[in-house]
Amino acid sequence: MVENPSQGNDMKALMTLVVVLVSPGPAFAEWGLYANRNGKGFVLEQTFAFYEDCNRKARDLWRANPALAFGCAEYTATAYSRTQQLREQHQKAMEKYNRDRAAVLERVENNRRLEKSAREDYDRAKRELEQGTGSRDSVLRAA
């Protein structure tokens, strides 16, 4: 038995602290957009990875219809899953990457065409000069 009653309370407090510190936290925290559209209560409408995005959406919805109520609160998922927002962000980033890459490849191809055309012009002007049908100015213009 415990001789000192306060020692038992200290032990309980210590064990409670250990359990709280050791217990696993939520697997993945998200922000939920809640709306009260019918006056009966708030309903989760959408989840966001970042509070700023949730808050921005809630403000936009409220500005569109100030008679309704919207708000954000932390939403804890029970299992890890990529949210729709993260998938959309990834898709947008990939689309931008592909657009940028296509633009770069197009510029490279245009530069190759210009270089090839300049080389052909130079070679033609050089041949004409060697054959005596061209002038020295045509070679300089081609270069």
What is the per-residue pLDDT for 49? 87
User: From CA 48, how far away is CA 85, in angstroms rounded?
Assistant: 6
- The pair of structure tokens assigned to 36 is 């009260």
User: From CA 80, how far away is CA 27, in angstroms rounded?
Assistant: 6
User: From CA 31, how far away is CA 73, in angstroms rounded?
Assistant: 6
User: Is-contact 61 35, C-beta < 8 A?
Assistant: yes
Nearest residue to 94 via CA among 102, 82, 83? 102
pLDDT tens by residue, the chain, 143 residues: 455 555 555 555 445 544 443 444 444 568 888 999 888 888 888 888 889 999 999 999 999 998 889 999 888 765 445 677 778 888 888 999 999 999 999 999 999 999 999 999 888 888 888 887 766 665 556 55
Q: What is the pairing mode between strands 43-48 and 69-77?
A: unpaired
